[in-house]
Structure 1
Amino acid sequence: MVKTLHPRNYNDVYYIGDYFRRGNAVLMNLTSLANDEARRVVDFAAGLVLGRGGDIDRIDTKVFLLRPSGVDRGDG
């Protein structure tokens, strides 16, 4: 399952972490955030992914896919 999230502010990183720790891939769409706040969310996500042994992929400008360990991209 891929959970798509559109954080409104940095406080929404709680939901990113919660879904990711449950083993779900998370698609973060940060397009509604200012650049500095989006950077903070990406920094959080990068630390989360590194600490949990997953991967992070940039899909588009301000759109990122977080994949827990064992979940591949599925692009063949």
Structure 2
Amino acid sequence: MGIFDRIAAKATPYEDEVDYEQYDQYPEEEYFEDEAPVAPLHSIPAVPEVARIVTVWVTDFKDVKDFATEYRHGLPVILNLSDATNEDRKRIVDFALGLVFGLEGAFSRISEDVFLLTPQAVKLDSMGAEEPHNFG
């Protein structure tokens, strides 16, 4: 037997006869008796998963596009206004409130100069204290 014959013999599937009569000795009911009913498939709602949170330091009103674009794409934004002037801070917060209201999200104050803009699809939970924190 040559090398090609040995390779062909190993590559060829076995053609042995299978004796199916040995499986007929048990009634069919015994095989399916203990199977649990199959639950129907349900689709999972398409909720975007938050993969990142954007932090933006805005010092001037002309920089609002930096966080507005990210928020419109469905990402939560931490808005830090610690370096903005009082006049710019008021305009930026007013713009951010309008943006959040228009996209049906949530606007939360974290500290005096830091705010959290949460899209509608993201739920904000609070943990670690007996009384829940109300950031809104």
TM-score class normalised by the smaller sequence: over 0.9
Structure 1 outlier segments of 4+, above 4 Å: none
Aligned residue in 1 for 2:62:
11
**What's the TM-score, normalizing by structure 2?**
0.54
How far residue 16 of structure 1 moved from its aligned partner, in angstroms, is 1.3
Given candidates 46, 53, 57, the residue that maps to 2:97 is: 46
Tell me, in whole angstroms, the C-alpha distance in 2 between the residues paired with 1:39 and 1:3.
21
Rg larger in structure: 2
Residues 23-38 of structure 1 mapped to structure 2, 5 A cutoff: 23-38=74-89
| CA RMSD after TM alignment | 0.9
| TM-score normalised by the chain length of structure 1 | 0.94
Identity of aligned residues (%): 36
Larger fraction in strand: 1
Q: Which has the higher contact order (CA 8 A, sep 6+)?
A: 1
Q: Deviations over 1:43-73 (max 9, x none)?
A: 0000000000000000001110000101112
Q: Aligned pair count?
A: 76
**Residue in structure 2 matched with residue 59 of structure 1 by the alignment:** 110
The match for 1:71 is 122
Distance in 2 between the 1:50 and 1:12 partners?
19
For residues 8 and 15 of structure 1, what CA distance do their matches in structure 2 show? Answer: 11
Q: Where do 5+ consecutive residues of structure 1 fail to align?
A: none
* CA distances 1:6-60 after superposition (whole Å, capped 9, x unpaired): 0121111001110000100000000001111111000000000000000000000
Structure 2 residues without counterparts, runs of 5 or longer: 1-51, 128-136
CA distance in 1, matches of 2:123, 2:86: 28
